[in-house]
Structure 1
């Protein structure tokens, strides 16, 4: 069965009060449309909360002509394409980037007064489509001033770390060639790479693995600035940072300049490492990482940096060793901090499943939903907790063969010691013999 378009469903919900009426009285249509236009809506794909009267009216007449199929948004055949000449396109984009608060009308007037285009030739819709294609159609920043951007650097190492992902080369795996992603964490003040590793994905789990190694080697940062992507917004990463006392900060969308130092390191990495890498000689992911770590520790960390006054990243980092937060008591249970909790239902045989394997938990939990405490990197289960985080016991890998010899617990009666045994008296025996001989004679 074909799935109904979500936008069409939303539009139908808006005009539902109209389409459900068998007949509309004179003037009633416009009255209802005005009422609908005054309401607030959760509009799919938009930050706006209200709709115009003409928009609602158009949806209503479209529905009358073609039903719900007529409410499906029509994709333009020229979407993403601009008919403007390259020189005009460049002028529009430069005008918007120079002052993000400029409206379409302001850009139009600016190009006309500067002689880039003739008066009344450049349409506002053409400007809007071009800006939307490049992701800069919205107005941002102060209404009267340009957004102020200044270079800055943390005063001490360990104050601010940046995290980001870079697409890397393909590597051999047991399942064939797969793309690798470089996940990196950089210290702002020293430009030192707290840890960096090639992973087979750019998920929250990959980022958490790199963060764990980084804090083990370089201590705890006060702030960790990352992208606004879904992987960085995972509940598990947020929980880990909260337990470690790290303030997790997200960059504003379309503002990558907040991580300019890490972007600069990516360029250095491409120029000095990737350009010299012979991918055909890489054996697997671990071999690629071994090469990466050798280059970071022996080349990058020991090279003088112009932004550090000629100091190397390692030397600059070591100047602030006394100010860097250590793991302290957290080091004794660092593995537990990075464990995940996943919800599972305990089967009747006292087992739960995780990553294709079965684990035995306390039998009393059968039929309940519990939280498995798991190590997602090793694919193992450490124990079981309730919703409040209280331990309910251990979890062990299911040994079906061993369970053949295992002594099972028998169900208990109300009084286990009072086992019922019928008492047999002489009269009962005599009655039984009479019945037996009577049946035999018959």
Structure 2
């Protein structure tokens, strides 16, 4: 059989394909088989744009295989494998029959054309290695046949517990003072669908990715990981830098369809509550952003979370605590969250042990000279740069001190002492 290992130039493409696959399976990551089959059947009738590949159709079994491998191996399992002997032409050999039988066990419902496409996409073959008719003939000669699988319908899965579904959105709320000027403010809020607890909230001056990440990180640290994270189709929610951390944490990111407002009803009703009950309590001419966030957290803990909610008939925080008897939250530490939400850069270390990032030079240990290194940094603290190996931080980068390097420490040297030593 073939030997597999990652190839550097293919890493970026593999990352994009893994994110594409995660986006496909996210909506039904925690659904039962009936819901999965219905969803995948609909997708199998459509063409999908695959990064680096183009438009492509997939079978139901292919989608289900992605779901299976994600549950077994996590986000890494969604990356396509790359042949170590990539670029070397080869013919169909008898050993290839074993590989085909293994694939058919994993994908019991598949056509010849989809099997051929799968072999190409996964890097087993190249388009010019052989054709579909050649593949069909080889399979028949080796008595390898396609099989059909009967799908057994099941009841639709209904969410009942905390942390099964979180919904996130932004609310615009006018201006407050920022120094000598006034700026627009935005509230990023995340609501737990079951309990109506606001698991994450943060006010900022822009409805951007950084505000979303900081809000989500606080929610994860306080309440654990949800199964699903539901949001609309805004650009900030489509960002790879949001999808990738969620994929690594096992969170399915789901986007609402255009003009579909019903699923977002709970978060929108919460925003109406904020406008009616919280905003009238603040003086926009005398409050700054830090004070706004502090007052809002105080209002949540003393008012919103403690008053019976019309939709559930009890205070949100009591509903959440009560359901802890049925649910064990998936906890993550602050260090794990920070590492997951790091931004990633690729740089080649120069011969003078430096790398250039954002028009600045940084010192790198000499052992990395001429090597391509992976550099990561927290989105909220871009000045903290670390070299990562095997998903672990190894060395912290320091800005290059040009003047310090240009003036090495003085070496004490006395010619009188040297002459004296020679005479002795």
TM (norm. structure 2) is: 0.54
Give the secondary-structure state (helix, strand or coil) at the position aligned to 2:258. coil
2:293 to 280, 289, 310: 289
Is residue 203–residue 231 contact of structure 1 (8 Å, CA) maintained in 2?
yes
Distance (Å, rounded) in 2 between the aligned partners of 1:291 and 1:307: 25
How many pairs were matched up?
Answer: 255
CA-based RMSD: 3.0
Choose 1 or 2 for highest CA Rg: 1
Which range moved further: 337-346 or 183-192?
337-346
Residue 241 of structure 2 is aligned to residue 236 of structure 1: yes
**Contact 1:160-1:188 within 8 A present in 2 as well:** yes
Unaligned runs of 5+ in 1: 1-151, 408-442
The alpha-carbon distance between structure 1 residues 295 and 392, as it changes in their structure 2 partners (threshold 3 A), is: closer
Q: 2:375 aligns with which of 372, 376, 383?
A: 372
Distance across 2 between alignment mates of 1:179 and 1:294? 22
Structure 2 counterpart SS, 1:231: helix
Contact preservation (8 Å) 2:231, 2:254? yes
> Residue 397 of structure 2 corresponds to which residue in structure 1?
395
Residue from 295, 303, 311 that aligns with 1:307 = 311
Equivalent residue for 2:226, pick from 215, 221, 226: 221
Give, in whole Å, the separation in 1 of the partners of 2:158 and 2:175: 35
Q: Is the 8 A contact 1:221 1:325 kept in 2?
A: no
Pair 1:153–1:298, CA change in 2 (3 A) = farther
The one of 307, 314, 324 equivalent to 1:321 is 324
When structure 1 is superposed on structure 2, of 215-224 and 373-382 the one drifting more is 373-382
Structure 2 residue ranges without an equivalent (≥5):
1-156, 410-424
Deviation at residue 275 of structure 1 after TM alignment: 2.8
2:182 corresponds to which residue? 177
SS in 2 for 1:297: helix
Partner of 1:205 in structure 2? Answer: 210
The 8 Å contact of residues 158 and 325 in structure 1, kept in 2 or not, is answered as: no
How far did residue 323 of structure 1 move?
3.9
C-alpha contact (below 8 Å) 2:189/2:202 kept by paired residues: yes
Partner in structure 2 of residue 339 of structure 1: 342
Distance 1:346 1:210 in 2: 35
The separation in 2 between residues aligned to 1:226 and 1:271, in whole angstroms, is 23
CA-CA distance at 1:203 after TM superposition = 1.8
In the TM superposition, 1:126-205 aligns within 5 A as: 154-173=159-178, 176-205=181-210
Relative contact order (C-alpha < 8 Å, sep 6+): which is higher? 2
Q: Given that residues 220 and 325 in structure 1 are in contact (C-alpha distance below 8 angstroms), is that contact kept between their aligned partners in structure 2? A: no
Q: How many Å separate the matches in 1 of 2:328 and 2:407?
A: 52
C-alpha distance 365-248 of structure 1, shift in aligned 2 (>3 A): same
Measure the CA separation in 2 of the matches of 1:352 and 1:174: 37
Tell me the CA shift for residue 158 of structure 1: 1.2
Distance 1:355 1:252, change over 3 A: same
Quote the offset at 1:298 in angstroms: 1.0
Matching residue of 1:359: 362
1:232 aligned counterpart, secondary structure: helix
Give, in whole Å, the separation in 2 of the partners of 1:375 and 1:240.
Answer: 12
Q: CA deviation at 1:357?
A: 5.2
Contact 2:175 2:182 in 1 (8 A): yes
Question: How far does the alpha carbon of each residue in 1:337-375 deviate from its partner, in whole angstroms, 9 at most, with x for none?
Answer: 121113445556433454675432234545665432111
Q: 1:292 to 1:348 in 2, by over 3 A?
A: farther
Deviation at 1:241, TM superposition (A): 0.7
Of 275, 280, 303, the residue aligned with 1:270 is 275
What are the superposed Cα offsets for residues 373-394 of structure 1, whole Å, 9 maximum, x if unpaired?
A: 11121222331247x7576743
Q: 1:295 to 1:365 in 2, by over 3 A?
A: same
Query: Does structure 2 retain, via aligned residues, the 8 Å contact 1:359–1:381?
Result: no
